[in-house]
Amino acid sequence: MSSNTEARPPLPPFTRETAIQKVRMAEDAWNSRDPKRVALAYTPDSQWRNRAEFPRGRTEIEAFLTRKWAREIEYRLIKELWAFTDNRIAVRFAYEWRDDAGNWFRSYGNENWEFDENGLMARRFASINDLPIAESERKFHWAQGRRPDEHPGLSELGL
């Protein structure tokens, strides 16, 4: 995929502990809502599938994320490790957001990740479904940014 010399530890092959660390690092980066920062975790030629979009490379990923977070206001995400092998990680996730009309949603999904030898994500395949929710049904109430360590994860929230 990439002959890139950048390193993004932890590196494959993953253990349970390093896979969990990689998932939390991804969650933290996405909760920053900084497209440039997030795009740097992917190989320069990274391949994505996100719903009906297929971004290729960091430039397209950054543009995709810029559009996403302009549309998904008050975005808050939780990821959880589902499975892992040497250089692959599967996660499940949920995030809450509202649109510019004030309608709230909880989006649920699964991602399959494949990493290069430098710990950069070379391939990301995401399947996502959106559920309209009432504001009173929200479960993610921390201030924008990193989810606090004491905030429950998906399993603890029953999601």
Interval 13-41: pLDDT, tens: 999 999 999 999 999 999 999 999 999 99
| Cβ burial 103-133 (10 Å sphere, 16+ → b, else e) | ebebbebebbbbbbebbbbbbbebeeeeeee
DSSP conformation class of 59: H
Indicate if the pLDDT at residue 4 is higher than 90.
Answer: no
> Residue 101: which residues within 8 A CB-CB, separation 6 or more?
none
| Residues 117-131: tens digit of each pLDDT | 999 999 999 999 999
Q: Residue 114 — φ and ψ, nearest 5°? A: -130, 130
Alpha-carbon span 61 to 83, nearest angstrom? 24
